[in-house]
Structure 1
Amino acid sequence: MGTKENPWKLKTPPGTSEYEMYKDVKDGKEILVCTVGKTVLHYDFRCINDLQVMLKAHKDWMELGSADEQKPAKEGTVEAWGRSEKNPVGGWYGLKKGFRGRFGMYIPPLMEELGLVELEHNPKNNRMRAL
Structure 2
Amino acid sequence: MTNANGAGTKENPWKLKTPPLTSEYEMYKDEKDGKDILVCTVGKTVLHYDYRCIDDLHTMLKHRGDWMELGSADEQKPAKEGTVEAWGRSPDNPVGGWYGLKKGFRGRFGMYIPPLLEELGLAEVEHQPRNNRMRAI
Matched, 1:58 2:59: no
Could you give the per-residue CA deviations for residues 73-122 of structure 1, whole angstroms, max 9, x where no partner exists?
00000000000000000000000000000000000000000000010000
Q: CA deviation at 1:71?
A: 0.1
User: Over the residues paired in the alignment, what is the CA RMSD in angstroms?
Assistant: 0.2
Matched, 1:84 2:115: no
- Supply the AA of the counterpart residue of 1:69: E
Aligned to 1:120: 126
Match 1:24 to one of 27, 30, 47: 30
Please report the TM-score for the alignment, with normalisation by the length of structure 1.
1.00
Percent identity among equivalent residues?
85
Residue correspondences, number? 131
- Supply the AA of the counterpart residue of 2:111: M
Q: State the distance in 2 between where 1:34 and 1:94 align.
A: 10
- Supply the AA of the counterpart residue of 1:105: M
Q: CA deviation at 1:28?
A: 0.1
Q: State the distance in 2 between where 1:60 and 1:25 align.
A: 33
Q: State the distance in 2 between where 1:119 and 1:38 align.
A: 25
Q: State the distance in 1 between where 2:8 and 2:59 align.
A: 21
Aligned to 1:12: 18
Q: State the distance in 1 between where 2:9 and 2:63 align.
A: 30
Aligned to 2:4: none
Q: CA deviation at 1:69?
A: 0.0
Unmatched segments (≥5 aa) in structure 1: none
Q: State the distance in 1 between where 2:65 and 2:26 align.
A: 29
